[in-house]
Chain A
Amino acid sequence: ETGVTQSPTHLIKTRGQQVTLRCSSQSGHNTVSWYQQALGQGPQFIFQYYREEENGRGNFPPRFSGLQFPNYSSELNVNALELDDSALYLCASGRGGGTDTQYFGPGTRLTVL
């Protein structure tokens, strides 16, 4: 098991609502990346934070935003939820600006009704 934890485990929201997902990085890691994984597919990169600043972003709209805190924990915020946002959201932590191995948490399962 990695030292990356995520909360909550499961979450149900309705369309149009906002959601905040949380991630605690493995000790000693200063980067955190967020991924969206739909059923039956591989994870898709949302963005990465390094030293509290966004350090790379995938093809996700601005309603997906994030924060990294001084203790390297992180939040993923999604506004104006859509049905297609239903997925497993994974965070991964690592050292350095992205070239180091990323260690994944167990994910948060988001269902949008």
Chain B
Amino acid sequence: GESVGLHLPTLSVQEGDNSIINCAYSNSASDYFIWYKQESGKGPQFIIDIRSNMDKRQGQRVTVLLNKTVKHLSLQIAATQPGDSAVYFCAEYEAAGNKLTFGGGTRVLVKP
């Protein structure tokens, strides 16, 4: 399959532990932020998004935190499972330019 993360920072986590993936963004005008998961050979898969006027949003086993003061976004995955092994990208969307900008990605490896 397609290898999408040859030189990405890697987070190794034990199965069952919680994972935290961090992302710094640059555009203060972004309207919302999204986390995507990309497995080898597949396109990015939407996980969760958060609007710029929020600071926390929870989904199923995932929580996204937004700190606009320091332009920082994080994704927390609870009880990490082997199926969570993938490359994770944060992305920011600005309505004015109708443009989705992706960050550099983090590879998550779940150890059994």
Q: Restricting to A41-98, which residues have a CB under 8 Å from any CB of B?
A: 41-45, 48, 55-56, 58, 88, 90, 92, 97-98
Q: How far is the CA of A90 from the CA of B46 in the complex (A)?
A: 14
Q: How far is the CA of A35 from the CA of B45 in the complex (A)?
A: 14
Chain A residues whose CB sits within 8 angstroms of the CB of B33 once the complex forms: none
CB atoms of A39 and B43 under 8 A apart: no
Interface size in chain B (residues, C-beta < 8 A)? 31
Query: Which one of B7, B44, B93 contacts A104 once the chains associate, using CB atoms below 8 Å?
Result: B44
Residues of A within 8 A of B (CB): 2, 4, 33, 35, 37, 39-45, 48, 55-56, 58, 88, 90, 92, 97-99, 101-107, 109
Known: A90-B44, A104-B44, A107-B43. A41 touches B97 (CB 8 A): no
Q: How far is the CA of A33 from the CA of B97 in the complex (A)?
A: 13
Q: How far is the CA of A7 from the CA of B61 in the complex (A)?
A: 34
CB atoms of A101 and B99 under 8 A apart: no
Residues of B within 8 A of A (CB): 2-8, 31-32, 34, 36, 41-46, 49, 89, 91, 93, 95, 97-105
Whole-angstrom distance between the Cβ of A35 and the nearest chain B Cβ: 8
Which chain B residue has the least Cβ–Cβ distance from A107?
B43
CB atoms of A40 and B43 under 8 A apart: no
CB atoms of B4 and A40 under 8 A apart: yes
Whole-angstrom distance between the Cβ of B88 and the nearest chain A Cβ: 10
Which chain A residue has the least Cβ–Cβ distance from B31?
A99
Chain B residues whose CB sits within 8 angstroms of the CB of A103 once the complex forms: 46
CB atoms of B98 and A40 under 8 A apart: no
